[in-house]
Amino acid sequence: MITATSPVALHGTFDAADITFLLKPVLVDSTDVMEKERLIQSGARHYSEMISFEKPPTLAYEAIFADALDRGAERMGREIASLAVALQRISPKIVTLVSLVRAGAPIGVLLARALKRIGVDVAHFGVSIVRDRGLDHNALDFILARRPASSVFFVDGWTGKGAIASELERTLARRAEVEPRLVVLADPCGGAWLAASGEDWLIPSGILGATVSGLISRSILNDDVVGPGDFHGCIVWSHLRGYDRTRPFIETVETHVEAALATTPAAEWTSAHRQERAAASSDVIDAIAARHGVTNRNRIKPGIAEATRAILRRVPERIFVDDPADPDLAALVHLARSAKVPLDRLPGDVAPYRAVTLIRPIA
């Protein structure tokens, strides 16, 4: 049995002023990764009903993260600043950031701090969204009772195939008061409303899980522990406290955000940018699906962060990379070699992505 703590107000290990998670801490049994994969692929269970125990990162993996942060913090700070300036122009007085748990949380914290620094009234919440099941409407109702709908922007780290962007649009189609304005750092599939770039690059927080996200698990939507009036559930991974990098990560990147705010132009993400990226993304997904006989495209996990997380959480069959010597792929290559997952080098054939993981079919 997994155990969890239940704070009165859920902030994880973030500063309480940085984010409020609208999640219900729950207790659920841990599901073995292979069994979880079998249940997902057979249709017996939805992925959100189960969770596998999150292990501490190894010393080698933490060193890879430290190197990624050292190399990527300046770019991340600059791109956060560009998004903040863009949001200030669109909504100069009041902004409500709704970060999609959990990859959106550290991005949203940095973005909220930047907006406060340039004089915007900001509130920041962490909310669950589940593929095929939608956004947590109880959480959204909670926010809209306190903040104007026109001020709401949704935050995530990146897009992969665009499944979450599509889920957000589908969920909000019957809620005309809220626009599905998704803000991300990297949008290689062209699914976001606003992005700092369309490049698939190594966002440092993308290769860690709970230990850079306030020790919060990904969200859980299981009828045994989440009732009709509840927020979606989560685990607080207290056993990872000794490995937590949440606040050091935020403080490191924030210094670069501060340095960039005065000189960085506002991010611009046009329909032409989105269309170009969407076409390129579709082409590479189609090619991989055709080449490997994939009928369920949920088995294809494109982009550095998604490809890396798929090795940690799922059962990978093989990984396609542009160049295995690319330093931005160090975490992915380390995990692949540790798990003895084949790496296929496909120079130029995975663009606009730099890595794609294919999940193994489980009978």
Domain positions in the chain are 20-261, 271-359
Fold of 20-261: Rossmann fold (3.40.50)
Angle of the 59-90 helix axis to the 104-117 helix axis, nearest 10: 50
> Strand order of the sheet with strand 343-345?
300-302, 355-359, 316-321, 343-345
Question: What is the CATH architecture of 271-359?
Answer: 2-Layer Sandwich (3.30)
User: DSSP string spanning 259-285?
Assistant: HHHTTPPPP---HHHHHHHHHHHHHHH
Spatial distance between the Cα atoms of 117 and 84, rounded to a whole number of angstroms: 10
Q: What does the pLDDT read at residue 5? A: 39
pTM (two decimals): 0.95
Closest Cα to residue 357, out of 188, 142, 161? 161
Spatial distance between the Cα atoms of 63 and 59, rounded to a whole number of angstroms: 6
Spatial distance between the Cα atoms of 175 and 181, rounded to a whole number of angstroms: 13
Closest Cα to residue 99, out of 26, 201, 36, 182? 182
Burial 198-234 (b: 16+ CB within 10 A, else e): bbbbbbbbbbbbbbbbbbbbbbbbbeebbeeeebbbb
User: DSSP string spanning 53-69?
Assistant: PPPPPPHHHHHHHHHHH
Spatial distance between the Cα atoms of 319 and 332, rounded to a whole number of angstroms: 9
- The β-bridge partners of 97 are 124, 153
Cα(first)–Cα(last) distance of the chain, in Å?
27
Average pLDDT per block of 10 residues along the chain, 363 residues long:
49 97 96 95 95 96 96 98 98 97 97 98 98 96 97 97 96 94 98 97 96 97 95 97 98 98 96 96 96 93 96 95 94 95 92 96 82
Q: What does the pLDDT read at residue 9? A: 73
Q: What does the pLDDT read at residue 363? A: 66
Spatial distance between the Cα atoms of 273 and 278, rounded to a whole number of angstroms: 9
Quick one: tokens of 96? 């409500």
Spatial distance between the Cα atoms of 136 and 44, rounded to a whole number of angstroms: 23
Burial of 351 by CB count in 10 Å (0-12 exposed, 13-18 middle, 19+ buried)? Answer: middle
Between CA 128 and CA 135, with CA 131 as vertex, the angle to 5 degrees is 35
Helices (H), the chain: 33-42, 59-90, 104-117, 137-144, 163-172, 246-261, 271-292, 304-313, 330-338
Closest Cα to residue 155, out of 90, 201, 89, 101? 101
Q: What does the pLDDT read at residue 6? A: 38
